[in-house]
Chains A and B, each alone.
Chain A
């Protein structure tokens, strides 16, 4: 009898713990749902006021109550593109060097070196960008400066993802290429790259998502000019997160709503990029495990 009672009490504790864990897991869902709901609600006033022009108008003038986000959407995409253009070849080179060329002894230190870049807080990169890079290298505050800083920040992410993907290449594939007389580079192009293609694309897209969402470094070095849409990389511009960070302080109600509208636009774009990236990575790792 006593044993039975004991079991009953124990089961209650057990069940309570399970529900506690379920509750903790559910927090993620609650927070995300709240973000989507609250932000959309707060962005409605500006969408009422501007309609679709919020996304297509080039004019952003807070005193007149005109909010067109196009230049900032452009700035975000443009700086992220510059960052990707710089970071991808470098990251790929580093990942290939670490996995295929470097002597095993040097592998670990090199991995640490790249990871060290990820530890430096983004605001420190921003500080360096605004006081050193833009002043002493004649770049000024511009799309290019922002792109370079973002490239530095996303390189460790792309490199470590690319490294993981490349390391899944079966040794038999590589040995087969070498046995056929391929040089190291031919082995890489014939065995390693085709095998890791999907994963590499995913890694680049995750880097892209990170570059678009990065706020502080971009806010410091992009120049904060209003309404420039130009491909001239040396021109100063602005990006969505930078505008939010710089203008929030002195914004009135409609202006705040417009900034929240920018935030939710950014939110949606980065989530789409991340989802596509993860889907690609997952599909390619599934395939490579299968082989």
Chain B
């Protein structure tokens, strides 16, 4: 009878398996440590600065003398919105149109394949290279402006928007297209009124994720945007600034006041990107086509 006892023995094999599962759990904990630590630091040191004397931090100009204590990131917040907004206006329509070409017209043709391949290559271009490229092409001729930053961010966003939009177009069932053709609609009309609207929630969500990433980029802005301390509501004229650039500049300052402003700016930026990402997630969960 004892020979038929099939219960697992506490052998080295099962101990090893449990041990490895434990190590995997440990990996999960290790990953959560930096996340918790970074978010804790940002909230602990940034929330107080950003919310003190609300809304002074969001509306005041940046102190000219960086060792002076006090609030002020207003121009940087405006700058981030301007730069990212400009990039969105450039990259989103172009990216969606490009993806429409890739999926609806190009298919597996040579040109479409080349664009898809190059788009993937473009995803891997380091952001600082984009920054230098825009500096040479734009800033050297037209000087510092928010728009230079927009151009650099748009270059970074474009392949991401193309990729996520094409994914979404792929999920649109073919019978929708066929039904539209059967009603006599042209291809362009079918795309504009049937295919893109069907995929729209997914497209919007993908674009929002790209925007959230772009809003946090620093390197491409360093050379193109400049370093203003006063409000500059113009997209094209004069130097501007951005939250990420201010964090970068103030992080290495030896003055506590400047470091405080960096943490406040970090708190603002993280809140912004989290909100955009959250919106994207909600749209995906509620409205997007599923695989």
Contacts and interface: CB of A to CB of B under 8 A. Distances in A.
Interface string B183-211: 00011110110000000000000000000
Looking at chain B's contact residues, the main secondary structure is helix
Interface stretch (B56-64, B170-178, B212-220): B212-220
B98 A121 contact: no
B158 to A, nearest CB: 7
Contact of A275 (B14, B121, B186): B121
Interface of A: 10-11, 13-14, 16-18, 20-29, 31-32, 34-35, 38-39, 42, 89-94, 96-98, 100-101, 110, 112-114, 116-117, 119-128, 130-132, 152, 155, 159, 183-186, 188, 209, 212-216, 219-220, 241, 244-245, 248, 259-260, 263-264, 266-267, 270-271, 273-275, 278
A151 to B, nearest CB: 9
B65 interface: no
A225 to B, nearest CB: 14
B32 interface: yes
15 contacts: A28-B122, A39-B133, A90-B30, A101-B21, A113-B32, A120-B216, A125-B38, A127-B251, A213-B125, A241-B219, A244-B132, A248-B222, A267-B126, A271-B124, A274-B123
Given A121-B273, A131-B251, A186 B17 contact: yes
Contacts of B219: 215-216, 241, 245
Contacts of A14: 186-189
Given A31-B155, A128-B38, 13 more contacts: A31-B122, A31-B158, A32-B118, A93-B24, A93-B27, A97-B27, A124-B38, A126-B247, A127-B251, A131-B263, A132-B37, A185-B17, A185-B19
B132 A260 contact: yes
Contact of A21 (B21, B105, B121, B222): B105
Nearest to B151: A31
Given A132-B37, A248-B223, A270 B124 contact: yes
A34 B133 contact: yes
A22 B188 CA distance: 13
Contacts of B81: none
A131 B265 CA distance: 14
B162 to A, nearest CB: 7
A94 B270 contact: no
A25 B101 contact: yes
Nearest to A86: B30
Interface centre among B159, B216, B251, B281 (most CB of A within 10 A): B251
Interface centre among A28, A213, A214 (most CB of B within 10 A): A28
Nearest to A18: B105
A29 B102 CA distance: 13
Contacts of B281: 112
A185 B244 CA distance: 44
A13 B25 contact: no
A183 B23 contact: no
Contact of B215 (A94, A97, A121, A275): A121
B251 to A, nearest CB: 5
B259 interface: yes
Nearest to A101: B21
Contacts of B155: 31
B66 interface: no
A18 B100 CA distance: 9
Nearest to A277: B124
B69 interface: no
Contact of B31 (A113, A126, A263): A113
B216 A122 contact: yes
A10 B247 CA distance: 53
Contacts of A27: 94, 98, 158
